Chains A and B, each alone.
Chain A
Amino acid sequence: MADFTLSVNGSDKKVSVSPETPLLWVLRDTLEMTGTKFGCGAGLCGACTVLIDGAARRSCKTQVSQVVGKQITTIEGLGASGLHPLQQAWIDEDVPQCGYCQVGQIMSAAALLKKNPHPTDDDISNAMEGNLCRCGTYQRIRKAIHRAAGDNVVVANSGGAR
């Protein structure tokens, strides 16, 4: 066990855990912030994505000792005042189905827009490739990212009744 002070969503949090503990479990079990999800424990699905100094990182493969002195942003702190534009776009496009992967999707998208405010479809594919969704919400995720970027991109015919 060791003591760490973490900067999470702009405030300092003191935790006492073993140094190799993944950030994911510190967030979920110790700090009781359960917005960040466990999906694979191996950095393969992206459900646990958080921002570390603004970049998307898999918290299940990030040891707590590696993030001391860095700015950690989770879904709980993404929209500093109210909803982040991505969260609003996610609501406007009604993206989630089961919703379990969506926090990780939004965090990856937030990192993308920070670097690249007007991503192309290829940019989106590249940035979101690490985030799995079993319900199959990808098409709406793409639309929501374009919407949050303020880009009027026609992604696909939305179908509907005959």
Chain B
Amino acid sequence: MDSPLPRSRSFRRFGCLFLLILFPGMVSAKTTIHWWHAMGGVTGEYLEDIANGFNQSQSDYEIQPVFKGNYTETMTSAIAAFRAGKQPGLLQVFEVGTATMMYAKGAIRPVEKLMKDEGQPFDRSAFIPAVVSYYESDDGQLLSMPFNSSTPVLWYNQDAFDQAGVEQVPTTWKEVGEAAGKLVDSGMECGLSVGYQSWVLIENFSAWHNLPLGTLDNGYGGLGTQLTFNNNAVEGILGRLQEWTKDQRFVYGGRQGKSLPMFTNGKCGMWMNSSAYYGSIEDQAQFKFGQAMMPLDTKVASAPQNSIIGGATLWVLEGRPKEEYAGIARFLTYLSQPDVQKTWAERTGYVPITTAASALMKKQGFYQKNPGTDTAVRELSLNPPTANTRGLRFGNFVQIREVINTELEAVWAGKKTPGEAMDAAVEKGNKLLRRFEKAHKN
């Protein structure tokens, strides 16, 4: 009241603020795109570096990464958001969620279609075949953009090998058994352990020996797929491991990556799990370690085929404003550039997704300086993927893996024979497949 001037000025200020809130576009011409992801810790920071790199490379779009918890939490919250009409444009989904995403027609925009529609250059042959084949539709269209990819390898403790007199890194399951025996004899508490047992011992074991997991090309041929992994080869390897549990040559250490400390503490001399544990092992292990390709069961195949991928891809969700899609397409182009891929792969231990990036890493001597780090790429690109090894497309796969984990645990505890366990897993798994088929029929 005492002086009308400041008051009117403050009104004007308020008016400006009001306009700003109403039309944010008037101030910044940038389109913001939300990217929900599941990368915590250091990997999350590297992911943000990629987003920042893109944001600085142009001025039209801004990618905003949002950490949403682990893979399951990220996917569940995105689905809830979609049902409420508040989904992000870009979403990171783990590989077992592929079928769920793919059959959600109307919720997702296939990446290859997006790139074409938005006029972004896209060359499918530039990608490493086994990396992209997992995420293609049955007619070969790329559905989602591979982001962080890994594959199982055999990690070994070189110091323990030396001490136990294991001269060569095992390449077959027979040799793994012998090496494990020597390790135990030398006083170790355990020869071999595994993580992500369904992924490593069933899914990748089958691909490595070019065996199908299910009918209709592992589900790529349609919703009517049936599981068939209760075969002699799988049961043979499980029988071998069950036998080994009796004298500690094999010790089960829990689901996912729970058994990592058993390897890094020097309890187990060998560990089979994802190549992406490179960073953790390097950080925690007080010994010389190495990684080698998965062992071969010479009774089943004379040479390995190729391994299949794990990790996650980026899905583009429908229902966002039109201009966001142009930005997403440009971001995906940025993401696939060799130098971006190279930095990401070198920092995280994930596999580069293009052959150009892999070649660049080789040329600049990364693999030479860090021996063994190319194991994953070599496993994935050992041979062109076959119908058995391009990937897996089973609905309700999260629950099927749960069933497999449960049955495998019964094997490790000696409660079931491998045959009984795998028959039960296939029977229960097929029920889950039929449920998924029913939910997606119309």
Q: Do A and B bind each other?
A: no
